[in-house]
Chains A and B, each alone.
Chain A
Amino acid sequence: METEEKFLNRAKAVLDEAEKNLDASAVVRLRAARRKAIEEGSRSLAKLKPRWLLPVGGMAAAGIVLTVAGLLWFSAPNGQLLQAGVGDIELLAGKETPDFFVELEFYEWLEHQANAG
Chain B
Amino acid sequence: MRLLGPAVNKYLEEFPLESLPALDRFLGLVERRAFLMARLATGNADDAHDIVQEAMLTLVRSYANRGEQEWGPLFHTILQSRITDWHRREKVRNRFRVWFGKHADEDEDDPLQNIADGRSPNPLGQLQDKQAMAALESAIHKLPARQQQAFLLRVWEGLDVAQTASAMKCSEGSVKTHYSRAVHALREKLEEHW
Contact = CB atoms under 8 A, between A and B. Distances in A.
Interface of A: 3-4, 7-8, 10-12, 14-19, 21-24, 26-27, 29-31, 33-34, 36-38, 40-42, 44-45, 48, 50-52, 55-56
Contacts, number: 122
Contacts of B7: 52, 55-56
B53 interface: yes
A112 B114 CA distance: 114
Interface residues of B, number: 45
Nearest to B129: A17
Given A12-B156, A36-B57, 14 more contacts: A7-B186, A10-B194, A11-B156, A14-B129, A16-B156, A17-B129, A18-B133, A19-B32, A21-B119, A22-B35, A34-B28, A37-B56, A50-B11, A52-B7
A23 B56 contact: no
Interface of chain B: mostly helix, strand, loop or mixed: helix
B10 interface: yes
Contact of B57 (A12, A23, A29, A37): A37
A21 B56 contact: no
Contacts of B27: 34, 37-38
A12 B134 CA distance: 14
B31 A11 contact: no
A26 B136 contact: no
Interface string B89-119: 0000000000000000000000000001111
B47 to A, nearest CB: 12
